[in-house]
């Protein structure tokens, strides 16, 4: 802290107080974060794959550095970030990315291991300059197929990108089981309103996972095709998964997932997670509303809340014919109210009629409308946004664990985290 005091005319006295690091264990006044000893310890910590400022501080203290001489957590975090960037740049220059990823995946066995939580490759990994797709599981995950005996099959797929090095992500496919109706919280009309109710809810049981370079149709085609292959091996006495007409695929609205679903599961029902649609209401949906109204000095979208509340009600209508009739009336009302752009945007959620409805007896009218976010009686299960565990929560556990690696862990680190998750949590579900 600097202060100046004018004692007598022509005399200026400057007072300076604070810490002065110039010798001993303290860094020099050159602007560097560490002295030489701390620099060596930090470099060793980073080279060993260490992450987070908290763990670096522990390593420095264990190396004999005093607490008072260490930088702040913000400075430590910035130093680690810069060190990773330098390491990444050197890796891309000296070692081909394909070889680096292949080296990390090479440790996984290709045969079914005896250890129930040991991860192994389900197919040959795709590792090229343009794409990465590594499919893996453990015996415990695959045993879920053996325990499943339901008639209605529901799969949930969710991917979280940029949790691994080089921006890669982890996709999880889970099998949802509707064993009985349970009490849960349901969304209802009104901002942030929820109510108690009963619905088909259960845990999503992970059956296999994959590491992607990006959310592309080829990657999801490989993922869904692998699920079909494992189903044929584990459930040979049942109808192939791609021919199941009661199959539901719960997912978000990413176009690549929808394209792969139509290719691999042509008879399935698309169940898009309502949580993601509600997120859209804060951005895209508001931008499509034309009319505004001034309330208490602020402009609001006039028909926005009406549209959101109506959708929350319509998605719980029990039968498809009832939903179709109400949906058409809702779209027509928006057009009469002067919101044609909003009506057109909402109609982009309409999907081709799934086989489970198209082939039912008696047949449905030819002009029936199906929207992917509609739940109905059969669709009210996790992944449709109505149960106690929406699709967004499926990756919550392992994402928190991967966060401890700094958000961009190497593949080998991620595989260890996911294996520990099964042994400590998933196998007890």
- Domain with 103, as residue range(s), is 97-273+373-429
Q: What is the pLDDT of residue 356?
A: 81
Taking alpha carbons only, the member of 370, 271, 354 closest to residue 321 is: 370
Q: What is the pLDDT of residue 264?
A: 94
User: Same domain for 379 and 368?
Assistant: no
User: Same domain for 70 and 10?
Assistant: yes
Tokens of 407: 């958000």
Tokens of 28: 């020099």
User: Same domain for 108 and 241?
Assistant: yes
Statement: residue 62 has pLDDT above 80: yes
Tell me how many domains the chain contains. 3
User: Same domain for 201 and 246?
Assistant: yes
User: Same domain for 215 and 306?
Assistant: no
User: Per mean pLDDT, which range of 89-93, 193-197, 360-364, 413-417 is the poorest?
Assistant: 89-93
User: Same domain for 11 and 128?
Assistant: no
Tens digits of per-residue pLDDT, 71-93? 888 888 888 888 877 765 554 44
Statement: residue 370 has pLDDT above 60: yes
Statement: residue 236 has pLDDT above 60: yes
User: Same domain for 332 and 408?
Assistant: no
User: Same domain for 195 and 62?
Assistant: no
User: Same domain for 381 and 317?
Assistant: no
Phi and psi for 184 in degrees, rounded to 5? Answer: -155, 180
Residues 389/201, Cβ–Cβ less than 8 Å: yes
User: Same domain for 10 and 138?
Assistant: no
Pairwise CA distance, residues 347 & 369, whole Å? 10
Q: What is the pLDDT of residue 326?
A: 96
Instruction: Quickly state the pLDDT bin for 176 (edges 50, 70, 90).
Output: confident
Pairwise CA distance, residues 274 & 253, whole Å? 9
Top-confidence range, 36-45, 146-155, 173-182: 36-45
pTM of the model: 0.70
Pairwise CA distance, residues 182 & 200, whole Å? 6
Domain termination site, one of 349, 372, 395: 372
Tens digits of per-residue pLDDT, 9-54? 555 555 555 544 444 444 443 346 778 788 888 888 887 777 788 8
Residue with the bigger pLDDT between 159 and 188: it is: 159
């Amino acid at each position: 802290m600097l202060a100046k005091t004018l004692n007598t005319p022509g005399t200026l006295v400057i007072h300076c107080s604070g810490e002065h690091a110039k010798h001993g264990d303290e860094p020099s006044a050159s602007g560097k974060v560490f002295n030489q000893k701390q620099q060596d310890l930090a470099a060793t910590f980073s080279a060993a794959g260490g992450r987070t400022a908290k763990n670096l501080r522990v390593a420095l203290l264990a190396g004999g550095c005093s607490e008072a001489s260490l930088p702040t957590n913000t400075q430590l975090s910035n130093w680690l970030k810069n060190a990773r960037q330098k390491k990444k740049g050197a890796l891309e220059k000296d070692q081909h990315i394909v070889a680096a990823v292949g080296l990390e995946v090479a440790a996984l066995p290709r045969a079914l291991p005896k250890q129930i939580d040991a991860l192994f490759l389900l197919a040959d990994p795709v590792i090229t300059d343009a794409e990465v797709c590594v499919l893996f599981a453990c015996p415990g995950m695959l045993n879920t197929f053996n325990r499943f005996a339901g008639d209605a099959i529901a799969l949930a797929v969710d991917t979280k990108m940029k949790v691994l090095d080089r921006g890669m992500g982890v996709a999880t496919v889970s099998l949802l089981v509707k064993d009985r109706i349970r009490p849960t919280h349901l969304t209802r009309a009104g901002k942030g309103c929820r109510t108690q109710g009963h619905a088909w809810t259960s845990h999503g049981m992970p059956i296999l996972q994959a590491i992607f370079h990006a959310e592309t149709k080829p990657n999801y085609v490989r993922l869904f095709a692998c699920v079909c292959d494992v189903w044929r091996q584990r459930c040979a006495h049942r109808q192939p998964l791609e021919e199941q007409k009661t199959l539901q695929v719960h997912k978000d609205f990413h176009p690549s997932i929808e394209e792969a679903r139509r290719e691999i599961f042509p008879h399935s029902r698309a169940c898009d997670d309502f949580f993601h649609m509600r997120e859209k209401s804060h951005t895209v949906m508001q931008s499509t509303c034309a009319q505004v109204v001034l309330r208490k000095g602020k402009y609001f979208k006039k028909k926005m809340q009406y549209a959101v509340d109506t959708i929350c009600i319509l998605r719980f209508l029990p039968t498809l014919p009832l939903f179709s009739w109400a949906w058409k009336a809702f779209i027509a009302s928006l057009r009469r109210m002067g919101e044609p752009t909003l009506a057109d945007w909402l109609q982009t959620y309409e999907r081709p009629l799934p086989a489970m409805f198209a082939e039912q007896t008696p047949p449905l009218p030819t002009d029936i409308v199906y929207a992917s976010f509609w739940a109905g009686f059969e669709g009210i299960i996790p992944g449709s946004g109505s149960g106690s565990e929406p699709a967004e929560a499926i990756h919550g556990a392992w994402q928190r664990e991967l966060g401890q690696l700094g958000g961009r862990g190497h593949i080998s680190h991620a595989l260890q985290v996911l294996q520990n998750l099964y042994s400590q949590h998933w196998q007890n579900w």
